Structure 1
Amino acid sequence: MNKQDILNIVTIKIRDKIQYFENLIAGTRASNNDTKSSMGDKYETGREMLQQEINNLQRQLNEVLSQYAVLQKINAGPAEKVQNGAIVKTNKGLFYVSASMGEIMFENQKIMTVSAESPLIKAMFGKKMGETFTINNMTQNIENIW
């Protein structure tokens, strides 16, 4: 399994998401500047609502930027235990310990990208091939680690 290719897929998804939020923020700021009116309080309320939307988008962008920072530190080399950058196969599926970007397809296989901060990864972190872990009263066996 080529971990560098998988890392590249996740990195592209993160970059696309960063670009999406940056464009949305820029568009919202532009519309905020276009709402000049002589309506007094209604104008101020509209501007405040747009500012709150910009703040919300900025918060989401910051989360994606922190995920991107995590990706920048990932080593695509082989792993012997569950750690950042590891691909873990359990009896329930394939997991890539990186940034939480949802499901990706790689070589006709579904791989869930999961943050090291997620409860699932915390339960298996540091474990090696052949070991088991339990989460939500469900025991899983680690079948392989790349």
Structure 2
Amino acid sequence: MNKQAIINIIKAKITDKIQNFENLIAETRASNNDTKSSMGDKYETGREMLQQEINNLQRQLNETLNQQAVLQKITSDPSEKVQNGALVKTDKGLFYISASMGEISIDKQKIMTVSAESPLVKAMFGKKMGETFTINNIHQNIENIW
């Protein structure tokens, strides 16, 4: 498995997501400036709603920047056990432990990217090839780790 290709795809997705949030924040700020008027309280409510939207977008941007920081620390070196940066094959699927960006496809294989904070990863963290773990009463066998 080419872990560097996986890392590159995730980095590209995160960069796109950051750019999107930055654009949305800029557009929302511009709308907020457009609503400034001397017409009274009706516009104050609209501006407050826009400010809440900006705050929400800023929070999501910060989460994405944190994911980017986690990804910067990950290398494509082989892993002996389940840890950050490990590609883990269980009898239920392929999981790449880094930033949670959903499902990606490489060489027609579906890989689920998951955060080290997820319950799934917490259940398998530190385990080695051949070991098993259980989550939600579902037993999984670790078949391979890259």
Q: CA deviation at 1:39?
A: 1.8
Q: CA deviation at 1:37?
A: 2.2
Aligned residues: 146
Q: 1:28 — aligned with what? A: 28
Cα RMSD between the aligned structures? 0.6
User: Corresponding residue for 1:18?
Assistant: 18
Give the equivalent residue in structure 2 for 1:106. Answer: 106
Asked if 1:53 is matched to 2:57, the reply is no
TM-score, normalisation: structure 1: 0.99
Aligned-partner SS, 1:96: strand
Supply the AA of the counterpart residue of 1:131. E
Aligned to 1:17, what secondary structure does the other structure show? Answer: helix
Other-structure match for 2:92: 92
* 1:39 lines up with 2:44 in the alignment: no
Q: 4+ runs of 1 displaced by more than 3 Å?
A: none
TM-score normalised according to structure 2 size: 0.99
Distance, in Å, in 1 between the alignment partners of 2:74 and 2:60 is 22
Structure 1: tracts of 5 or more residues without a match: none
Query: Residues 84-114 of structure 1, C-alpha deviation per residue, up to 9 Å, x if partnerless?
Result: 0000000000000000000000110000000
Which residue is 1:115 aligned to? 115
Instruction: Please give the per-residue CA displacement for 1:42-87, whole angstroms capped at 9, x wherever unaligned.
Output: 1111111100000000001111110110000001110000000000
Q: Percent identity?
A: 83
Aligned to 2:57, the other structure's residue is in SS state: helix
SS in 2 for 1:144: strand
